[in-house]
Structure 1
Amino acid sequence: MPNYDEKAYRMTRSKDGPTLAEQKSQLARLKQDLEQFTSRQAGGAILGSLKERIRDLEGSIARIENARALDREARRNGDEGGPGNTVRATSSRFPPRGTPGRG
């Protein structure tokens, strides 16, 4: 990534990397910038680096969401029980909270 991109699109440097929400907001910002540069007919180098960064972010977001879905699925399969599994998640034992008497 060129030095200009690193200054213009700051990345957070936490030990685990940016959160999913931060990545999604950055992706939305990059897409808006791409639209603006396209409408202004900017040079190909700028558009190319923006498109590359967007592809990288989309791939990263897809990997995180896929990992979360697999983790959720594994937890759900673990909660359904077996001979040695007597502990269940609280959410499966109690109904969701609501305001009684309204609605």
Structure 2
Amino acid sequence: MAIAFKASGFMPLMPGEMMRAALLSVLPAASPGLTVAEAGPLPLLPEALFPGGDKAGWWLKAAQLDLEAQGIVRREASKPLRLHRARERVQPGHSRPQPSPQ
């Protein structure tokens, strides 16, 4: 199994973190965004962990839903579903939008 390392070089990234980083690397910052199919084969995913893209779909959906729940990614009301990075996100327990980390 391949292990990817964070910038510090010490903490290994888990498959979900790798997928999250890969998805964020391709999503545009504005509407209309991309469909999951348009996001295509995601960069940054190690072939040893996701050989030929196997199991990538499950991890992609999990990362998408997690990023949406955190307000980092937004979905468009369209068919097929389109995603883009959120400009601002609301922190849990806050009523005012907080600046999105870029």
Q: TM-score, normalised by structure 2?
A: 0.33
More helix by share: 1
Report which of the two has the higher share of strand.
Answer: 2
Structure number with higher relative contact order (C-alpha < 8 Å, ≥ 6 residues apart) = 2
TM-score, length-normalised on structure 1? Answer: 0.32
